[in-house]
Amino acid sequence: MTSELDPLTWHVSRLGELIEVLAQKGRLYPKAKEIPPVPEQLWHADSEDLGRWLDSAASGMGLEVEPIDAVYTDVEEMVRNAAPAILKLPRDIVSTTQMVLGEENDSLYLALVGCGKSKVSILRPDGAVRKIAVEKLRHWLCYNNEAPFSESLDELLTETEVPEERRDRVRKAILREQLSAVKIDSGWMLRQSPGMNLWDQMRTQRLYKPLIILLLSQFGQQTVGILSWWLIGMGVFQGHFEWAWLWAWALVLFTTIPLQLLTSQVQNQISIGTGAIFKQRLLYGVLKLEPEEIRDQGAGQFLSRVMESSAVEMLALSGGFLAVMAVMQLGWAGWVLSQGAGGALHMLLLFIWVLVAFVSGWRFYRSILDWTDAYRNMTNELVEGMVGHRTRLAQQDYNHWHDEEDARLDRYLQLTVHQSGISMQLGFIPRGWMILGMVGIALPLIAAPESIPALAISLGGVMLASQAFTSFITGVQSISSLLVSMEQIRPLLQASSRPRDSQPVVITKDSVDGVEKETKEVILLTRDINFRYRSHGRLVLRDCSLAVRTGDRILLEGPSGGGKSTLASVLAGLRVPESGLLLLHGYDQKTLGREGWQRRVVSAPQFQENHVFTGTFAFNLLMGRRWPPYPVDLQEAEEICHELGLGELLERMPSKFQQMVGESGWQLSHGEQSRLFIARALLQNSDVIILDESFGALDPENLKRAMQCVLNRAKTLIVIAHP
């Protein structure tokens, strides 16, 4: 095994170089950037710290590094679908290999560049690619887990006299049963960032091929359609019937069948590919929104964005296909009309009517924009009223429940009537063209009645243009709805395109723990911080300075509106100060990156800004740690829950940690939610924990238990409370 692995392995120090090579081999179209070698202090770091460095290095190229961990039974399937990826060899194989080479016990890795059903491609450090059986690679990755069972399994198979030809299958079945739930730390998968250039994403998915095929297929269908009309004309204008023309016409019609099937197939392929990219960008954009961008929006506006994001995908594809078809049909119609009796006159009439169609389309877009705006406002008011229904029952006079509703409904009805009228005008475009086209035919017919073939060609061109205008109108309706919907999701798409924070400095857990053991140094420092919410608003924080040392327990008190929560959000990296100095472990936020900062400074916001998600109780506890959790995570979560007084809640819930909670699940009281938020912050094992009015809803007994738990578990603590 050692001799076979030696030429395939990459040393940990070369992982930066390996990312560059994998990005090129995997056709991920990275940005040009040279990645430095892995720092020596990370050679023996755990996978989490090393993974952060790799992700930081890849982000400069517009790529992402995603950890791969699969249960034992899914390793083969993971290997078949992970390329390009960096696979981590188990420690026992590494030790054996490096003892032979006389090296230290450093980590070794494999570069997966291609996948197949039975074999995968491994990139060697010398640039060559070698094919390896999937089963062999799976065995290498699972070596540490399988090795302890090897000797006992051999003895068992010998004692039970299992035939030699069946022993391999029996061994696999036993191992699969024994190790089915064991997680295998396999390495990292390299992929494009969802926010990178859209064209590069399409090239990676190779969507340009079906797009080209679609255009050629549409062109072929139009060509075949015109050819079929030409064959009919040739048969008719000869003055006598010939079966040859009929058979030729039938053959041409049958040719359209495979073209239509091909068009349908590539449309589905494009829909699936672009739909996946679009959804990924939207989800990515949601997670990159700044708090201030959505702070003033209600539940109804969030619902509108969700609804419009679903509509955009369908409208973009359908409207795009119809627009392409309409443009091609209009081009063919213009060429046919130029060959007919009308000639230049028909071409001029077609050009004028195309302008009329575009003007009508613009008016339709403006009308649907106003109508949709009124509809969204009504939706927002309705959702807000439903969410606050209990408050209205208790606090608002029934006589004022429907104030201003009549005015909003009246405006909505007026806009609906206006929009319907413009829709009718838009629908008249194909019929109007038929009238105009026939006028264009009538004039040449009066002037030269003997030119029957030319008149027939003009008639065919008029009908073809009418079909094009029909497709154009449908396309205009789809694209108008698309543009209106895009206004709702534009902030999400813009957020997805924002560059990730660079993170060239990685602070390992070992280095931080070492500093804490040696001395109580300043861990978080602010000096002369100024912050305001709006560029011309008043300063909420003015010349604010604070030094937080490792192990400190700090209480911030002050009146409402004094800036305590704003300071907490600045310290947690949720907001960027206007001026001043803000350092964590001696680094500023730009150096560490927002993600790196927020892993080390965790904030539990005020109750109204925190949320219990509809999901399991375990997910709500561990969502800031890692998901899916390891057994040790659940064990620590259970310990913290008991320390916070949530043990009784766990006992009451039928499914314990797997109980669904949230708006549509098990309802938690105000105090239970507060303790859940505290537990969520503690479970992230950060350097600094900020609790913003987290104890206000607790009774004296639970307050004492919660405070004791927090004081025992928080490394460094900042508590915000009213005096």
Same domain, 637 and 662: yes
Q: What is the mean pLDDT of residues 565-572?
A: 89
Cβ–Cβ < 8 Å for 346, 333 = no
* Judgement on whether residues 314 and 406 belong to the same structural domain of the protein: yes
Amino acid (one-letter) located at 665: G
The pLDDT of 441-453, averaged and rounded, is 66
Which of 287, 311, 330 represents a domain boundary (last residue)?
A: 287
Does 184 share its domain with 222? no
Confidence at residue 338, expressed as pLDDT on a 0 to 100 scale = 80
The verdict on 570 and 484 lying in the same domain is no
Q: Which of 52-61, 316-325, 708-717 has the highest mean pLDDT?
A: 708-717
Domain for residue 402, yes or no? yes
User: Which band of pLDDT confidence, cut at 50, 70 and 90, is reported for residue 313?
Assistant: low
Question: pLDDT tens-digit profile of 158-176?
Answer: 888 778 888 888 888 888 8
Task: State percent of the chain over pLDDT 70.
Answer: 85
Asked whether residue 584 is domain-assigned, the answer is yes
Task: For 491-518, write each residue's pLDDT tens digit.
Answer: 777 777 777 665 445 555 554 444 444 4
pLDDT, residue 676, reads 92
Residue 519's pLDDT band, with cuts at 50, 70 and 90, is very low
676: domain CATH number?
3.40.50.300
Assess whether pLDDT exceeds 80 at residue 236.
no
Q: How far is CA 365 from the centre of its chain?
A: 29
CATH number, domain containing residue 353 = 1.20.1560.10
Torsion of CA 175, 180, 181, 187, to 10 degrees: 80
Q: Is residue 377 part of a domain?
A: yes
Of 231 and 343, which is predicted with more confidence? 343
User: Which has more pLDDT, 377 or 582?
Assistant: 582
- Whether 478 and 610 share a structural domain: no
Lowest mean pLDDT among 163-172, 199-208, 414-423, 506-515: 506-515
The pair of structure tokens assigned to 63 is 């790529």
* CA dist., res. 310 & res. 294, Å (int): 20
pLDDT at 309: 64
**Is residue 561 classed exposed, middle or buried when 0-12, 13-18 and 19+ CB atoms within 10 A define those classes?**
exposed
Position 679 scores a pLDDT of: 93
**Cβ neighbours of residue 444 under 8 Å, at least 6 residues apart?**
341, 342, 343, 345, 451, 454, 455, 458
Q: What are the structure tokens assigned to 698, written together? A: 């607790």
Domain identity same for 29 and 6: yes
How sure is the predictor about 638, in pLDDT bands with cuts at 50, 70 and 90? very high
How far is it, in rounded angstroms, from Cα 295 to Cα 297?
6
Q: Half-sphere exposure of residue 213, counting CA atoms within 13 Å on the CB side?
A: 18
Chosen domain end from 258, 287, 316? 287
- Confidence grade of residue 677 (pLDDT, cut at 50, 70, 90): very high
Q: Do 281 and 318 fall within a single domain?
A: no
Report the C-alpha gap between 350 and 436 in whole angstroms. 9
Q: Which amino acid is at 282?
A: L
Q: Which of 474, 489, 470, 472 is nearest to 311 (CA)?
A: 489
**% residues pLDDT > 90 (the chain):** 9
The pairing of beta strand 717-721 with beta strand 553-557: parallel
The pLDDT confidence band at residue 103, using thresholds 50, 70 and 90, is very low
Q: Calculate the alpha carbon distances from 177 to 135, 180, 181, 538 in Å.
A: 17, 5, 9, 65
Q: Which residue has the higher pLDDT, 459 or 111?
A: 111
From 233, 260, 287, give the residue that closes a domain.
Answer: 287
Residue 99 pLDDT class (50, 70, 90 cuts):
very low
Residue 179, pLDDT > 90, answer no
Q: What mean pLDDT comes out for the span 476-489?
A: 77
Q: How many domains is the chain partitioned into structurally? A: 4
In sequence order, which residues have a C-beta less than 8 Å from that of residue 327 and are 6 or more positions away?
A: none
| Cβ partners under 8 Å of residue 151, min gap 6 | none
Residue 187: pLDDT band (50, 70, 90) is confident
Report CA 609 to chain centroid distance, whole Å: 24
Q: Could you tell me the CATH number of the domain that includes residue 135?
A: 3.90.70.10
- Rounded Cα gap, residues 30 and 23, in angstroms: 6
pLDDT of res. 504: 46
User: Could you tell me the CA-to-CA distances from 281 to 294, 306, 359 in Å, in that order?
Assistant: 18, 14, 33
- What pLDDT score was predicted for residue 139? 85
Q: Are 587 and 687 in contact (CB under 8 A)?
A: no
What are the pLDDT digits (tens) for 588-620?
888 787 878 888 899 998 877 888 888 899 999
Which pLDDT belongs to residue 640? Answer: 94
DSSP class per residue in 175-190:
HHHHSTT-EEEEEEEE
Residue 395 or 341, more confident: 395
Instruction: Specify the length of the chain in residues.
Output: 723
Sign of the CA dihedral running 567, 568, 573, 574: negative
For position 234, what pLDDT does the model report? 63
Q: How confident is the model at residue 235 (pLDDT cuts 50, 70, 90)?
A: low
| CB distance 336 to 226 below 8 Å | yes
537 shares its domain with 613: yes
Nearest to 301 by CA among 314, 319, 289: 289
For 476-514, letters b (16+ CB in 10 Å) and e give bbbbbbbebbbebbebbbebbbeebbebebbbbeeebee
Same domain, 257 and 322: no
Q: What is the pTM of this model?
A: 0.69
668 belongs to a structural domain: yes
CA distance 445 to 451: 8
Cβ-proximal residues to 591 (8 Å cutoff; 6+ apart), any chain = 503, 504, 505
Long-range CB pairs of 325-328 (<8 Å, 24+ gap) are 325/218, 325/468, 325/471, 325/475, 326/468, 326/469, 326/471, 326/472, 326/475, 328/218, 328/219, 328/222
Q: Are residues 405 and 473 in the same domain?
A: yes
The pLDDT score that the predictor gives to residue 721 is 85
Identify whether residues 513 and 488 lie together within a single domain. no
Contact criterion met (CB below 8 Å) for 544 and 526: yes
Q: Does the pLDDT value for residue 581 go beyond 70?
A: yes
Q: Write the CB contacts of 323 (distance below 8 Å, at least 6 apart in sequence).
A: 472, 475, 479
Q: Does 154 fall in a domain?
A: no
Average pLDDT over residues 89-105: 56
pLDDT beyond 90 at 691? yes
Q: Give the pairing of strands 688-692 and 601-604.
A: parallel
- Which tens digits make up the pLDDT trace of 1-25? 556 777 888 888 888 888 888 888 8
Buried/exposed code over 89-120 (b: 16+ C-beta within 10 A; e: otherwise)? bbeebbeebbeeeeeeeebbbbbbbebeeebb
Query: Would you place residue 318 in the very low, low, confident or very high pLDDT band (cuts 50, 70, 90)?
Result: low
Would you say residue 465 lies in a domain? yes
204 and 188 inside one domain: no
In a domain, 258, yes or no: yes
Single-letter amino acid code for the residue at 676? L
Lowest mean pLDDT among 210-214, 248-252, 278-282, 291-295: 291-295
340 domain residue, yes or no: yes
| Partner residues linked to 527 by β-bridges | 581
Confidence of residue 197 (pLDDT cuts 50, 70, 90): confident
**What would the pLDDT profile of 354-364 be if each residue is shown by its tens digit?**
898 889 888 88
∠ CA 607-286-624, nearest 5°, is 50
Which residues form the domain of 214? 195-287
